[in-house]
Amino acid sequence: MLNSNSASFWLDHPVLVTGATGFVGSWLVKRLLSLRANVICLVRDWTPESELFHTQTIEKVTLVRGSIDDQFLLERILGEYKIRTVFHLAAQAIVEIANANPLSTFETNIRGTWLLLEACRHSTTIQHIIVASSDKAYGEQPNLPYDERMPLQGKHPYDVSKSCADLLAHTYAATYGLPTAITRCGNIFGGGDLNWNRLVPGTVRSLLRSERPIIRSDGSFVRDYLYVEDVIDAYVLLAEALSMNQHLRGEAFNFSYAQPQTALEMVQRIISMMDIHLTPDVRNEAKNEIQNQYLNATKAKQLLHWSPRFSLEKGLHATIEWYRANLNRPH
């Protein structure tokens, strides 16, 4: 549920988005532009397949080419554009890549976060910093669902990188009073996600190609799934709430439908919705991944008055329709 004052809050508001060409970043930029914010995007790689480029949204933002690990550049952006709000989404977000290349994942997800927070500490204009963490930051916990009081104890490379980035955001809030807040979502899905090894886009693409959808695990792993537009609502709402309540500094919030699914259940749900009945290819190849992981979003509902606009079913329907319309588009 969004604040009714969103339009006036964001009008001409200078915002920096890191990770803007990513799946979630592209949706966030689109939303901020609809609210008439002044959006500055830090972009490392030129990715023409990104929604930010395909929809020509890139032409409506100030684009700065560079890397999250460039301290001087970060400080220049914050100062030159008088940035008031930062959405930090830049990350290496694929578990398999983290397992194969832990150093590059740590460089981006951990070092990139502390460099950005340090640049924000030196800024005279920063008012809100939203750090996009993940349910993976919790690591594996003995009790489910996970809530925000649980310790962050990632064990494997990707999980550890999110635990560390999350703790860094809390550290800068607790020690320096930096106006940070942290989001922890489950598996985000929606149109525009072109990482085909993720369960939802991979399954939809396979079915549209009349191929058996692949499940890398044994199918029993349990996860939360959250539609991308509900995630964007959460980011925007949290930034607005942070501006009105200093007690939210350093706080983390889970966002979830509270409707956990096994991988096999999720694939079967998509098969049923698309009415393309192909048997999943269950490969049982997943390594260094948590078996069961899902979130309690009570805190966000009580303190932020957040509620999702979409159901799991409605979000999947919108996602499937996006891929039907866009899968074969020219790049």
CATH code of the domain containing 84 = 3.40.50.720
Distance CA 36, CA 43 (A): 20
Distance CA 257, CA 312 (A): 7
**Is 96 part of any domain?**
yes
Distance CA 217, CA 92 (A): 21
Q: What is the pLDDT of residue 107?
A: 94
**Is 184 part of any domain?**
yes
Active site positions, annotated: 158
**Is 320 part of any domain?**
no
The residues facing 128 across adjacent strands are 85
| Strand residues in the chain grouped as ranges (E) | 14-18, 38-43, 62-65, 85-88, 128-132, 180-185, 187-189, 214-215, 222-223, 225-227, 252-255, 261-262, 281-282
Backbone phi, psi, residue 115, to 5°: -65, -40
Q: Indicate the residue type of 152.
A: L
Tell me how far the alpha carbon of residue 108 is from its chain's centroid: 15
**Is 274 part of any domain?**
no
Q: What is the pLDDT of residue 255?
A: 98
Q: What is the pLDDT of residue 4?
A: 52
For residue 155, give its domain range.
Answer: 6-188+227-256+294-308
Q: What is the pLDDT of residue 322?
A: 96
Distance CA 63, CA 57 (A): 11
Q: For the whole model, what pTM was predicted?
A: 0.95
Which parts of the chain have pLDDT scores under 50?
A: none
Q: What is the DSSP letter of 289?
A: -
**Is 112 part of any domain?**
yes
Distance CA 314, CA 329 (A): 24
**Is 331 part of any domain?**
no
Q: What is the pLDDT of residue 37?
A: 97
Q: 269-322 pLDDT, tens per residue?
A: 999 999 999 999 999 987 778 899 999 999 999 999 999 999 999 999 999 999
Number of structural domains in the chain: 1
Residues 6+ apart with CB under 8 A from 197: 94, 96, 216
Residue 148 structure tokens? 């925000």
The residues facing 103 across adjacent strands are none
CA distances from 16 to 126, 189, 319 (A): 10, 23, 27
- For residue 100, the tally of other CB atoms under 10 A from its CB is 11
**Is 251 part of any domain?**
yes
Residue 156 structure tokens? 């494997």
Q: Indicate the residue type of 42.
A: L
DSSP string, 273-315: HHT-----EE-----S--SB--B--HHIIIII----SS-HHHH
The closest alpha carbon to 78, from 139, 14, 141, 131, belongs to: 14
**Is 276 part of any domain?**
no
